[in-house]
Chains A and B, each alone.
Chain A
């Protein structure tokens, strides 16, 4: 039941990459080189469909909605009546195309009062999904083109493109899904693609370890998510995101809060929620628990503290993969999901989200300051930027967070692809021996400079506007809740550090002259010559053109003015994209008031500090360079080594989680040997002692002698004796002991 033809358009956009994947996998041997063309063609057609969909949405929704005009009239048929009902108070429902089917009906319960266990599938395309589609397909198409050159000559070239197609399918499906259940399915699928692609060069053991780490860390988050989904399902009885959102946006508890959040002093308070026409209730504490659970899944996927450890390692995969999956799209899925489920999160959970984001962005930024591997700099930078987005969502800046998601996708993809281009030329990720690549790789240098300017938040580049929006939301929140001033300090200092480490990287890579391995005091990697940049040259057109093309949105998508016919009169400095997003927000946006000008001032200030420090420390010109980074590092001392070692997270996890788990695993198998056998042998000793009496009556002399010896050994105790498992009698002893213990348990209760 699709309510608009555009819905089918998007279904096609999702399914085409899947079809491409199937064709490629079946013809893995047959097509070889052509697989790249199939994959690229598929994603390009998805891009075209998304563009058509975007245009159609733009027209159908009546052009650019005015951000603060309440009661905008959607002229197209609104799909979900529940959504319409929920938005009826004050706001018309934003346009959304949806189609819902029942995938699996596990049958109505045998009793009439039971709800049927049906698993719905469906798509829902709203403004956010339209934008996400365009972003994902656009970047993915460019990355496909880029990969054709980057992966050339790889023995598993066809397989790479097959995986990419599978990923595109999963990611687009994740964006389009209307039900929690389907979101979870695609959520796992993107995880599997990520696993396959991180471990793509599995010959190197560290790569397959990184893949496993990513997989496992994500599963930890997913447990929380499953618990959250289970709770929601039992309480609300639906899997439909729009229904859940509509129901929860209308909860009366929002009235009492200045920021429009669900707050309650009493954890036992029960909210009545209208779900698809029936009233259901959910206690506040379950709502909090469900929110935390779902957020846990997002923490894993979006590499937030404390589960951020997998993302830097995940950069072991090919660089186009890092750009597409681990920078632009998949890792942003956690942020996307928090945005999708926004009305679900109560005030407490939002605070947790904000602080998680704040801590993450700060931690990751400090680590990125000192990395000597430029891909790692970008990796930690990604973690940090994702933290910005989470923080924005947590402080109520829904549009700001998702705006940053979109701008970040473009500039971070650009930066990663640029890094890949550099690696393609010099075959190392180490910053120290490199330098002066600007002359040899002008296009890469220029486009990466654009990316750097954007991520640092230089005005007129997209990153400035989105970061500005985040700071504005944070300032607004802090002005309402002065106790949470940290939520402003963290992003402000994080933004300064961002500008610093990005310029540091750019200076070290592209300016000055090549330092060479020996000058950096290092041994060349993989038997390279001393100067890795000696033979460097600009990459081919299939690498440079995607860079050039990506540079355009990197600059432009944040602009207040676009080429589209707009109705943004009166707001000359307000980014179009953000307005577009806030018109689609599940909850009405809070007016920010004076926070915006404060935010602009703050972001300029931190930019000057960050960039200034980077110039002072790393600019090639001696006259500008005043700070010696090495001495700075020495001054920082312990802090420096803390950053270099990523705050020792891996070590701590190794000591606190991994080793104990392995130890328990080994122990559990050997419990028989160590613990149970000890007990058993003690008991067996008694048994045997008794049995000597019995044996004295029967059996041969030899038997008695043997058992006497065994008895002696037992009586002397299993202490210090190397015990073997696998003995039947000890198994039976466990059985008997267990039976006796269970009996005691039962009898105590029975006799009671």
Chain B
């Protein structure tokens, strides 16, 4: 089972880079929506990994079972969609309370 001319490591590096960018975004951005987007980026980086690993695997062993990486990726996409929906709902709720979508403003609980 070949994966074309692009070696697997390229995909993995790309995924790692996307993941790092996502993490950086979460840490650096104060806008809640941007944070949400960064989280999506991290999830999708993992998806790239999953799909790439699936595509490059030789053949499924008995351990692999019927669930392959690509199916994992599809499920992760749906989970990500659910997370976005929940995230938007929470952001709206917080926006109504604070009139701001700045995550640094939500700091009434501390200590």
Residues of A within 8 A of B (CB): 669-670, 672-673, 684, 687-688, 690-691, 694, 699, 703, 707, 710, 724-729, 732-733, 736
Contact = CB atoms under 8 A, between A and B. Distances in A.
Question: Which of A670, A673, A691 has most B Cβ within 10 Å?
Answer: A691
Q: Which 9 A-B pairs have the closest CB atoms?
A: A726-B110, A726-B107, A725-B110, A691-B28, A728-B103, A727-B107, A687-B28, A726-B109, A724-B107
Contacts of B103: 727-729
A670 B110 CA distance: 9
B16 interface: no
A709 B57 CA distance: 50
12 contacts: A670-B111, A684-B27, A687-B24, A687-B28, A688-B28, A707-B30, A724-B110, A725-B111, A726-B106, A728-B104, A732-B27, A733-B27
A724 B104 CA distance: 10
A694 B24 CA distance: 11
Contacts of A707: 30
A725 B108 CA distance: 9
Given A728-B104, A729-B30, A732-B26, 6 more contacts: A669-B111, A688-B28, A690-B28, A691-B28, A703-B31, A729-B103
A710 B30 contact: yes
A729 B24 contact: no
B106 A728 contact: yes
Nearest to B110: A726
B29 interface: yes
A684 B107 CA distance: 17
Interface in B70-111: 103-104, 106-111
A627 B31 CA distance: 83
B8 interface: no
Nearest to A689: B28
A729 B104 contact: yes
Question: Which of A673, A710, A727 has most B Cβ within 10 Å?
Answer: A727
Interface residues of B, number: 16
A552 to B, nearest CB: 61
B51 interface: no
B108 A694 contact: no
A476 to B, nearest CB: 61
B23 interface: yes
Contacts of B111: 669-670, 725-726
A687 B110 contact: no
B97 to A, nearest CB: 14
Contacts of A687: 24, 27-28
Given A670-B111, A687-B28, A729-B30, A736 B23 contact: yes
Interface of B: 23-24, 26-31, 103-104, 106-111
A672 B106 CA distance: 16
Nearest to B105: A727
A42 B31 CA distance: 71
Contacts of A729: 26-27, 30, 103-104
Contacts of A699: 31
A673 B28 CA distance: 19
B28 A694 contact: yes
A438 to B, nearest CB: 61
A724 B24 CA distance: 22
Contacts of B108: 726
A699 B28 CA distance: 14
B24 to A, nearest CB: 7
A686 to B, nearest CB: 10
A139 to B, nearest CB: 50
A321 B27 CA distance: 61
B54 to A, nearest CB: 26
Nearest to B31: A703
A691 B23 CA distance: 12
Contacts of A727: 103-104, 106-107
Contacts of A670: 111
Question: Which of B26, B30, B109 has most A Cβ within 10 Å?
Answer: B30
Contacts of A736: 23, 27
A727 B102 CA distance: 10
Nearest to B108: A726
A309 to B, nearest CB: 31
Contacts of A728: 103-104, 106
Nearest to A672: B110
B41 to A, nearest CB: 13
Contacts of A691: 24, 28-29
A675 to B, nearest CB: 15
A672 B27 CA distance: 16
Contacts of A710: 30
Nearest to A698: B34
A727 B109 CA distance: 9
Nearest to B111: A669
Contacts of B24: 687, 690-691
Contacts of B31: 699, 703
Contacts of B109: 726
A699 B37 CA distance: 14
B71 to A, nearest CB: 28
Contact of B107 (A669, A694, A725): A725
A743 to B, nearest CB: 13
Contacts of A672: 110
Nearest to B107: A726
A693 to B, nearest CB: 10
Nearest to A707: B30
Contacts of A732: 26-27
Contacts of B110: 672-673, 724-726
Nearest to B28: A691
Contacts of A703: 31
B107 to A, nearest CB: 4
B58 to A, nearest CB: 26
A703 B30 CA distance: 10
A207 B107 CA distance: 39
A710 B106 CA distance: 16
A726 B98 CA distance: 15
Contacts of B27: 684, 687, 729, 732-733, 736
A733 B29 CA distance: 12
Contacts of B29: 691
Nearest to A739: B23
B27 to A, nearest CB: 6
Contacts of B107: 724-727
A710 B28 CA distance: 11
Nearest to A724: B107
A670 B111 CA distance: 6
A670 B104 CA distance: 18
A662 to B, nearest CB: 15
Contacts of A733: 27
A732 B24 CA distance: 10
Contacts of A694: 28
B43 to A, nearest CB: 15
A725 to B, nearest CB: 4
Contacts of B23: 736
Contacts of B106: 726-728
A736 B27 CA distance: 9
A443 B107 CA distance: 70
A699 B27 CA distance: 17
A187 B25 CA distance: 57
Nearest to B23: A736
A703 B108 CA distance: 23
A549 B86 CA distance: 78
A264 to B, nearest CB: 52
Contacts of B30: 707, 710, 729
